[in-house]
Chains A and B, each alone.
Chain A
Amino acid sequence: MMQEKSGSKKGLFIGLGVVVVAAAAVMLLHGNGKSAQSDSKVQTINVGSGNDGQPFAYLDKNGKPAGMDIALIQAIDKKLPQYQFKLTLSDFPTLITNLKSGKTTMAMYQIEQNAERKQDFKFGSVGYTVWDTLLATQTATGKLDSFADAKGKKVYVTNATNQATLTDAYLKDHPDAFSVVRGTYTTEQIAQGFKSGQFNVYPAPKYSIDLLNRQFGTQLIAGKSINHSNAYPMFNKDADPKLIAAVNKAMGELKADGTLKKLSEEWLKGDYVPEN
């Protein structure tokens, strides 16, 4: 009995010892982190982006982050010695939740701005990809310059996109203008939908239309843009205005020196940098 008791006491001491050492280590490391931060004044910023959105932000075959948005985040980071960006990659809704909760401070994943989003987030001022919406059609259908031109046609929109919101807004005022197919189609499904006549109009940015034509030979055409929109970096509402200003400045420089155009051509196979 005595032996057992002393054995359990010994265990208790070892346990306590481990806890003390662990606590000391944590405090020491924590202190170290702080002192390193205050020494060199490098602030770590958690930046969110996607993990399966090729070619914008995804993991390449070696599991490394790659894509237009990732490359741009890295280029901005390089220009800002006072900050160190740390990537947090996830699917889109998680990206938004992380940014809202403050787990990340900044997000770049081809995000467009609107009045509703501005209530909950801050945005950078330099747009980096054109997301003007055009109406893609086959030559047989003809070029469409507005939703009014799409009267009586069948329109496909991808759920939870800006294009779906635009389409809904138009249908609210013109309920019977055209019929709508709603889905979360892959690019191949969209090409197939056109070929099979499931729909004949696809509101989409120029980039997506070019991609369809390039990958699936759909030969889609498009008229004038029906709305104007760009992708911007998005920030947590409590993000430091100094950080936002620094990112804006860096992005302005990257745009002026042609880096942005180069990245767009490299990743998106075309110049989709907005003019202003």
Chain B
Amino acid sequence: MTFDFGFILQVVLKIIPYVPVTLYMAVVSLIIGGALGLLVALARFYQVPGLSQVMTVMITVLKGVPLVLVFLVIFLITSQNFNNVAKMLGLHLQYGDLPMSLLAIIGLSLMAMVGLSEAFRGAFESVKLVQFDAARSLGMTTGQTIRRVLVPQAFPVAFPMIVNMLINLIKGTAIASLVSVVEIFSAATQAASSNYKYFEAYIAAAIIYWAMTILIERGAHWVELQLAKKMERAIS
């Protein structure tokens, strides 16, 4: 079987311009999903009546479906209703005017929310009960306890899982072509479509994904060291 190294390089160069859109979708989804996940985790941790149960059901439902399905459902719902809703709101917008990366971000944010809410919940559980008693004895409100006691101590515990989620999101963007976003993976398959050198194109895509993942892991390792230093200082 012949193997075209030159073509791998060609494809790598062709897909590098799609790195920003991939990172943009992953990072924005991580931020939105992280914020939502934090809210969900807090609601469940403090067992807010009603809300906690609703969140539990929602997380269970979302956890049980593959991302592909989430993407398709989002596409069908938005494409069928957007024009009518826009008209009702008096907006002069058509479905086609929407940047499609927005749909991918909605889907990926949901995925991040599910994953991170569980990560946060686990991290919250790791904070010792004594800490809450101490906070209460100082007269802190629940809000203050969350901001000054719970989150600062839970964050370093959740951090590796947050980084892991970012990497998963980057890989998750590979199916964004389902909602017509051109990213690294679809650019690579497109490059191979006329000469059928799929194998080479896939390797090129893998090289880019590897490079991104390695850089993120290195960066995360550095941040983790800093966090550990800070924690040490807090304890001693």
B186 closest partner in A (C-beta): A159
Interface residue? A152 (CB, 8 A): no
Q: Which of B53-61, B142-150, B187-195 contacts A (4 or more CB under 8 A)?
A: B187-195
A118 CB to closest chain B CB (Å) equals: 10
**Contact of B186 with A116 in the complex, beta carbons under 8 Å:** no
B170-187 vs A, CB cutoff 8 Å, 1 = contact: the mask equals 000000011111100010
Q: List 14 A-B contacts (CB under 8 A).
A: A93-B202, A96-B196, A100-B2, A116-B196, A159-B189, A162-B194, A164-B190, A165-B194, A181-B100, A183-B181, A184-B186, A189-B76, A197-B94, A197-B95
**Contact of B195 with A192 in the complex, beta carbons under 8 Å:** no
**Contact of B198 with A97 in the complex, beta carbons under 8 Å:** yes
B203 CB to closest chain A CB (Å) equals: 12
**Contact of A160 with B2 in the complex, beta carbons under 8 Å:** no
Interface residue? B213 (CB, 8 A): no
Total residues of chain A contacting the partner, CB 8 A: 35
B78 CB to closest chain A CB (Å) equals: 9
**Contact of A100 with B1 in the complex, beta carbons under 8 Å:** yes
Interface residue? B24 (CB, 8 A): no
Which residues A175-227 have CB closer than 8 A to chain B? 181-186, 188-189, 192-193, 195-199
Q: A117-B196, A160-B192, A160-B193 are in contact. Are A199 and B202 (CB under 8 A)?
A: no
Set of chain A residues within 8 Å of B76, measured between Cβ atoms: 188-189, 192
B68 CB to closest chain A CB (Å) equals: 11
- How many residue pairs bridge A and B at CB < 8 Å? 98
Task: Indicate the member of A102, A189, A195, A196 with the most B CB atoms within 10 Å.
Answer: A196
Chain B residues close to A by CB (< 8 Å): 1-2, 72, 75-76, 79-80, 82-83, 94-96, 100, 177-182, 186, 189-190, 192-199, 202
A137-156 vs B, CB cutoff 8 Å, 1 = contact: the mask equals 00000000000000000101
A46 CB to closest chain B CB (Å) equals: 15
**Contact of A159 with B177 in the complex, beta carbons under 8 Å:** yes
Set of chain A residues within 8 Å of B94, measured between Cβ atoms: 196-198
Task: Report which of A120, A164, A184, A195 forms a contact with B195, defined as CB distance below 8 A.
Answer: A120
A193 closest partner in B (C-beta): B79
A120–B194 CA distance with the chains assembled, in angstroms: 11
A192–B198 CA distance with the chains assembled, in angstroms: 30
Set of chain A residues within 8 Å of B196, measured between Cβ atoms: 96, 100, 116-117, 120-121
**Contact of B199 with A97 in the complex, beta carbons under 8 Å:** yes
A273–B195 CA distance with the chains assembled, in angstroms: 25
Q: A100-B1, A120-B2 are in contact. Are A196 and B202 (CB under 8 A)?
A: no
Q: A197-B95, A198-B96 are in contact. Are A181 and B193 (CB under 8 A)?
A: no
**Contact of B180 with A181 in the complex, beta carbons under 8 Å:** yes
A195–B76 CA distance with the chains assembled, in angstroms: 11
**Contact of A161 with B79 in the complex, beta carbons under 8 Å:** no
B178 CB to closest chain A CB (Å) equals: 6
Set of chain B residues within 8 Å of A102, measured between Cβ atoms: 1
Interface residue? A119 (CB, 8 A): yes
Set of chain B residues within 8 Å of A195, measured between Cβ atoms: 79-80
**Contact of B193 with A161 in the complex, beta carbons under 8 Å:** yes
A244–B177 CA distance with the chains assembled, in angstroms: 37
Task: Indicate the member of B75, B100, B194 with the most A CB atoms within 10 Å.
Answer: B194
A159–B190 CA distance with the chains assembled, in angstroms: 6
Q: A117-B196, A159-B193, A160-B189 are in contact. Are A184 and B96 (CB under 8 A)?
A: no
**Contact of B80 with A196 in the complex, beta carbons under 8 Å:** yes
Interface residue? A40 (CB, 8 A): no
Interface residue? A276 (CB, 8 A): no
A192–B100 CA distance with the chains assembled, in angstroms: 14
A102–B194 CA distance with the chains assembled, in angstroms: 20
Task: Report which of B79, B193, B198, B199 forms a contact with A196, defined as CB distance below 8 A.
Answer: B79
**Contact of B79 with A192 in the complex, beta carbons under 8 Å:** yes
Set of chain A residues within 8 Å of B190, measured between Cβ atoms: 159-160, 164, 182
Interface residue? A101 (CB, 8 A): yes
Q: A97-B199, A196-B79 are in contact. Are A114 and B194 (CB under 8 A)?
A: yes
Set of chain B residues within 8 Å of A181, measured between Cβ atoms: 96, 100, 180
Which residues A31-75 have CB closer than 8 A to chain B? none
A97 closest partner in B (C-beta): B199
A183–B181 CA distance with the chains assembled, in angstroms: 6
B191 CB to closest chain A CB (Å) equals: 9
A230–B182 CA distance with the chains assembled, in angstroms: 28
B1 closest partner in A (C-beta): A101
A154–B96 CA distance with the chains assembled, in angstroms: 9
B192 closest partner in A (C-beta): A160
**Contact of B95 with A198 in the complex, beta carbons under 8 Å:** yes
